């Protein structure tokens, strides 16, 4: 899958600052971009079934709470939906025993617009409970009934605004809509004696994925009429709309990353996709704009080595403006360049700025403190002592989800040797950023 920037794609509401509350007029303007002219934007809510036990994952923790880069999987899905400003409420169905854990996740990762309901013993029953909360059937419910409701599995973290908009727009017109994907394996039907009865022509069939969207009344009435058998054994909401509402859902082609995390391999895949997405931008911090500065040489080598990664450089962080810039860039990888010094001043400033920006709440931020030293010609026992401070300081900042390590780059007079050191340094930097391995925190690597 091609790497995509960690920052969400341009949103309908990107005209707003990250922390601004959209005014009604702004929202309407944003919605106007998203809808055919002359039609009112529907009120949209989402239901996320998250009450499963994840048996196929084969671990004690239900997969929606399994960590990915030390953050529960469900938090990524919530973040994906929260990026969509026109989804007004997100109802999550969790079991009673996981309710407190879910509240803790919402608080720790500062999720917004989330309401919790009790899950059911099956996925359909969990979804039904979420719909009941939106229907306003429950006396203490603060939720208002939406015109359109999105249903999306909590274990499908890679959902983007464009497919959500497609299914919602189609649901408004057809009553129901769902994302589909080409089948990878052929579907076969076994006979009672365990032999092949027949196979389906793969090209004429599709896999039903998520998100799905429905006119609220269509799907709510379908669930209210639903047989116990369907509630117990059904796996397809679109089928309920067809069977009980006689609505033929519009099928929307989805992107490859809509898949559902089901087995352990899916968790590994999710982690590598997230790592790839947050490693798309490297910011070098150096205390000079001098183009001949060796830090700019390193920047150029990094650009050559990592042609798909955005490499920028900026002066050390000193003002609140820098904080805004860091947040807006959503960069999770920093290289702090120190030449012939081994003090920690710049690193401490950068780490404090990153901490203040709350950037490391959602994703681990990699900070690499690079020291250019001609360590073959100058005694650096004293410098080494300073450099070894990195171990203790790194342990401290790890608690804030900042992965700090050091890199000593040989800085010889000889141009050819320097180029070789720069290339080796760039390779190490690229690996540290791509792998984001907390096991290397506090280490001092040498190029
Ligand atoms: N009683 C249930 C069962 C499932 N789900 C949710 O429905 C989504 C898709 O279901 P599935 O992948 O089957 O999850 P599990 O049932 O947890 O997985 P398994 O079948 O392996 O146990 C998941 O987000 C799951 O948490 C739910 O809300 N309530
Ligand atoms: O059956 P499971 O509970 O594993 O997952 C539910 C899936 O069937 C469902 O998410 C899609 O197939 C679309 O309906």
- DSSP-derived secondary structure for 70-125: TEEHHHHHHHHHHT-TTEEEEEEEE-GGGHHHHHHHHHHTT--SEEEEE--SSHHH
DSSP for 283-317, please give it: EEE-S---TTSHHHHHHHHHHHH-TTSEEEEEPPP
**Among residues of the chain, what percentage have pLDDT more than 70?**
86
Is it the case that residue 25 has pLDDT exceeding 50?
no
The residues, ordered by sequence, that sit 6+ positions from 226 with a Cβ below 8 Å of its Cβ are 124, 128, 234, 240, 244
Ligand 2 pocket test target in 53, 62, 77, 123 with most atoms within 8 Å of CB: 123
Is the sign of the CA dihedral 360, 364, 365, 369 positive or negative? positive
pLDDT grade for 288, boundaries at 50, 70 and 90 = confident
To the question of pTM greater than 0.95 for the whole model, the response is no
The number of C-alpha atoms within 13 Å of 43 and in the hemisphere containing its C-beta is: 11
The Cα–Cα gap between 400 and 395 comes to 10
Segment 100-119 mean pLDDT: 97
Vertex 59 angle, CA 54 and 62, to 5°: 35
Nearest Cα to 46, choosing from 85, 19, 18?
85
N- to C-terminal Cα separation, the chain: 31
Contact 46, 87 (CB under 8 A): yes
Residue 333: pLDDT over 60: yes
Q: Give the pLDDT of residue 24.
A: 41
Position 4 scores a pLDDT of 42
Would you identify the CATH topology of the domain 24-273?
Spore Coat Polysaccharide Biosynthesis Protein SpsA; Chain A (3.90.550)
Angle, in degrees to the nearest 10, between helices 320-329 and 345-356: 70
Give the residue range(s) of CATH 3.40.50.720 domains in the chain. 279-446
CA of 156 from ligand 1 middle (Å) equals: 11
pLDDT at 18 over 50: no
What atom in ligand 1 is closest to the CA of residue 49? 28
What ligand 2 atom has the least distance to the C-alpha of 123? 3
Measured in angstroms, how far is the CA atom of residue 257 from the centroid of ligand 1?
18
Residues in contact with ligand 2 by the CB-under-6-Å rule are: 123, 153, 208-210, 235-237, 260
Residue with tokens 């990664």: 309
What is the location of CATH 3.90.550.10 in the chain?
24-273
Multiple choice CATH, 279-446, 3.40.50.720, 3.50.50.60, 3.40.50.11890, 3.40.190.10: 3.40.50.720
Distance 269 CA to ligand 1 centre (A): 19
Which burial class, exposed, middle or buried, applies to 33 when counting CB atoms under 10 A from its CB (0-12, 13-18, 19+)? exposed
| C-beta separation of 270 from 316 below 8 A | no
- Rounded (10°) angle between helices 264-278 and 73-82: 50
382 or 52: whose pLDDT is higher?
52
Residue 27 pLDDT: 42
Q: Which of 46, 47, 49 for mutating ligand 1's site (highest number of atoms within 8 Å of CB)?
A: 49
Q: Whose CA is nearest to atom 7 of ligand 2?
A: 235
Q: Using CA positions, which residue lies closest to atom 5 of ligand 2?
A: 235
Mean pLDDT of the chain: 87
Is pLDDT larger for residue 314 or for residue 161? 161
Q: What is the mean pLDDT of residues 324-329?
A: 73
What pLDDT was estimated at residue 302? 93
**Residue to mutate (ligand 1; options 66, 123, 124, 153; most atoms within 8 A of CB):** 123
Residue 36 has pLDDT above 60, yes or no: no
Query: Which ligand lies nearest to the CA atom of residue 55 in the structure?
Result: 1
Give the position of tokens 């490693």: 279
pLDDT tens, position by position, 217-261 = 999 999 999 999 999 999 999 999 999 999 999 999 999 999 999
CB proximity list for 57: less than 8 A, separation 6 or greater: 63, 66, 261, 262, 263, 264, 267
Of 373 and 141, the structure prediction assigns the larger pLDDT to 373
Question: Which of 107-121, 285-299, 317-331, 382-396 is predicted least confidently?
Answer: 317-331
Contact 87, 112 (CB under 8 A): no
Question: In terms of DSSP H, where are the helices of 310-398?
Answer: 320-329, 345-356, 381-387, 389-398
pLDDT above 90 coverage of the chain, percent:
67
For residue 91, give the ligand nearest its CA.
Answer: 1
Euclidean distance between CA atoms 371 and 341, whole angstroms: 7
């Amino acid at each position: 899958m091609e790497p995509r920037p960690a920052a969400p794609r341009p949103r309908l509401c990107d005209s707003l600052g990250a922390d601004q509350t959209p005014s009604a007029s702004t929202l309407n303007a944003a919605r106007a971009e998203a809808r055919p002219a002359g039609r009112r934007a529907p009120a949209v809510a989402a239901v996320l079934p998250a009450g499963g036990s994840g048996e196929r994952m084969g671990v004690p923790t239900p997969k929606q709470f399994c960590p990915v880069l030390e953050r529960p999987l469900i938090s990524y899905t919530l973040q994906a939906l929260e990026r969509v400003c026109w989804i007004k409420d997100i109802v999550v169905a969790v079991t009673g025993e996981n309710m407190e854990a879910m509240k803790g996740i919402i608080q720790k990762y500062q999720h917004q617009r989330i309401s919790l309901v009790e899950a059911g013993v099956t996925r359909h029953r969990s979804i039904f409970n979420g719909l009941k909360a939106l229907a306003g059937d429950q006396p203490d419910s603060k939720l208002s009934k939406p015109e359109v409701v999105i249903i999306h599995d909590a274990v499908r973290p890679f959902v983007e605004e464009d497919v959500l908009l497609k299914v919602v727009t189609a649901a408004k017109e057809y009553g129901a809509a769902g994302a589909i994907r080409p089948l990878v394996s052929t579907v076969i039907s076994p006979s009672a004696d365990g032999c092949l009865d027949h196979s389906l022509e793969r090209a004429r069939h599709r896999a039903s994925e998520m998100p799905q969207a429905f006119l609220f009344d269509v799907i709510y009435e379908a669930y209210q009429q639903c047989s116990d058998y369907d509630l117990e054994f059904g796996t397809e909401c679109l089928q309920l709309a067809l069977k009980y509402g006689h609505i033929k859902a519009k099928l929307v082609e989805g992107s490859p990353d809509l898949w559902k995390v089901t087995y352990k391999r899916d968790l590994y895949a999710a982690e590598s996709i997230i790592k790839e997405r947050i490693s798309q931008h490297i910011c070098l911090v150096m205390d000079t704009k001098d183009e001949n500065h060796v830090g700019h040489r390193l920047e150029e080598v990094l650009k050559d080595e990592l042609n798909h990664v955005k490499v920028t450089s900026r002066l050390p962080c000193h003002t609140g403006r820098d904080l805004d810039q860091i947040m807006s860039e959503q960069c999770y990888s920093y290289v702090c360049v120190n030449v012939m010094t081994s003090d920690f001043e710049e690193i401490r400033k950068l780490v404090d700025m990153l901490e203040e920006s709350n950037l490391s709440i959602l994703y681990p931020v990699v900070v690499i403190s690079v020291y250019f030293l001609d360590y073959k010609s100058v005694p650096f026992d004293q410098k080494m002592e300073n450099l070894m401070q990195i171990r203790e300081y790194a342990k401290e900042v790890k608690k804030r989800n900042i992965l700090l390590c050091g890199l000593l780059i040989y800085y010889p007079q000889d141009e050819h040797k320097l180029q070789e050191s720069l290339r080796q340094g760039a390779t190490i930097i690229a690996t540290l950023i791509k792998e984001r391995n907390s096991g290397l925190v506090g280490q001092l690597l040498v190029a």
